[in-house]
Chains A and B, each alone.
Chain A
Amino acid sequence: MSGNTHVSQSGPPLVQLRKVRKVYGTGQAAVHALKGIDLTIHAGEFVAIMGSSGSGKSTTMNILGCLDTPTSGSYLLQGVDVGALTRDQRALLRRYFLGFVFQGFNLLHRTTALENVELPLIYRSMPGGARRRLAAEALKSVGLEGRESHSPGELSGGQQQRVAIARAIVTHPKLLLADEPTGNLDSVTSREIMELLTALNRERGLTIVMVTHDVETAAFARRCIRFRDGLIVDGQPPERKPS
Chain B
Amino acid sequence: MIRQNIRMAIRTIRRNVLRSALTILGIVIGVAAVITLVTLGEGATAQVASEISSLGSNRLDVRPGQAHRGPGGVRSEADPLEAEDARAIAREVGGVEAVAPVASMSAQAIHGSRNRSTTVTGTTRGFLQVRNWPLADGRTFSEAEERSGKAVCLLGTTVRKELFGSSEAVGAWIRLGKLSCRVIGVLESKGQSSFGADQDDVVLIPLRTFQRRLAGNTDVQAIYVSVKEGISTQKVKEQITELMRERRRISADKEDDFHVMDMQEITKALTGSTQVMTALLGAVAAVSLIVGGIGIMNIMLVSVTERTREIGIRLAIGAMERDVLTQFLVEAVVLSIFGGITGIALGLVTAAIAASVLGLPFIFNAGIVGTAFLFSAAVGIAFGFFPAKQAARLDPIEALRRE
Are A and B interaction partners? yes
A interface with B by C-beta (< 8 Å):
62, 65, 67-68, 87-88, 91-92, 94-96, 98, 100, 102, 106-108, 110, 119-120, 122-125, 167
Nearest CB on A from B47, distance (A): 54
Q: Does B314 contact A (CB under 8 A)?
A: yes
Q: Is the CB of A92 within 8 A of B316?
A: no
Q: Is the CB of A167 within 8 A of B317?
A: yes
Chain A residues whose C-beta falls within 8 Å of the C-beta of B318 in the assembled complex: 91-92, 94-96, 98, 120, 123-124
Q: Is the CB of B15 within 8 A of A123?
A: no
Q: Does B320 contact A (CB under 8 A)?
A: yes
Q: Does B310 contact A (CB under 8 A)?
A: yes
Majority SS at the chain B contact face? helix
- Given the contacts A88-B321, A106-B309, A106-B400, A119 and B316 also touching, CB distance less than 8 Å: no
Q: Is the CB of B320 within 8 A of A100?
A: no
Q: Is the CB of B317 within 8 A of A108?
A: no
**Within B384-403, which residues are at the interface with A (CB < 8 Å)?**
396-397, 400
Q: Could you pull out 28 A-B pairs where Cβ atoms are within 8 angstroms?
A: A62-B397, A65-B316, A67-B315, A67-B396, A87-B321, A88-B321, A91-B315, A91-B319, A92-B318, A92-B320, A94-B316, A94-B317, A94-B318, A95-B317, A95-B319, A95-B320, A96-B318, A102-B400, A106-B312, A106-B313, A108-B313, A119-B313, A119-B314, A122-B1, A123-B317, A123-B319, A123-B323, A167-B317
Q: Is the CB of B321 within 8 A of A91?
A: yes
Q: Is the CB of A108 within 8 A of B310?
A: yes
With A67-B315, A167-B317 given, name 17 new contacts (CB 8 A). A65-B316, A67-B396, A67-B397, A68-B397, A91-B321, A92-B320, A95-B317, A95-B319, A95-B320, A100-B317, A106-B313, A107-B313, A108-B313, A122-B4, A123-B319, A123-B323, A125-B1
State in angstroms the CA–CA spacing of A65 and B396 once bound together: 11
Nearest CB on B from A59, distance (A): 10
Chain A residues whose C-beta falls within 8 Å of the C-beta of B400 in the assembled complex: 102, 106
Q: Is the CB of B1 within 8 A of A100?
A: no
Chain A residues whose C-beta falls within 8 Å of the C-beta of B1 in the assembled complex: 122, 125
- Nearest B residue to A100 by beta-carbon distance? B316
Minimum-distance CB pairs A-B, first 7? A95-B318, A94-B318, A91-B320, A88-B320, A120-B317, A123-B318, A106-B313
Q: Is the CB of B15 within 8 A of A110?
A: yes
Chain B residues whose C-beta falls within 8 Å of the C-beta of A110 in the assembled complex: 15
State in angstroms the CA–CA spacing of A24 and B218 once bound together: 93
State in angstroms the CA–CA spacing of A94 and B102 once bound together: 85
State in angstroms the CA–CA spacing of A100 and B320 once bound together: 16
Write the B319-333 contact mask toward A (1 if CB under 8 angstroms, else 0): 111110000000000
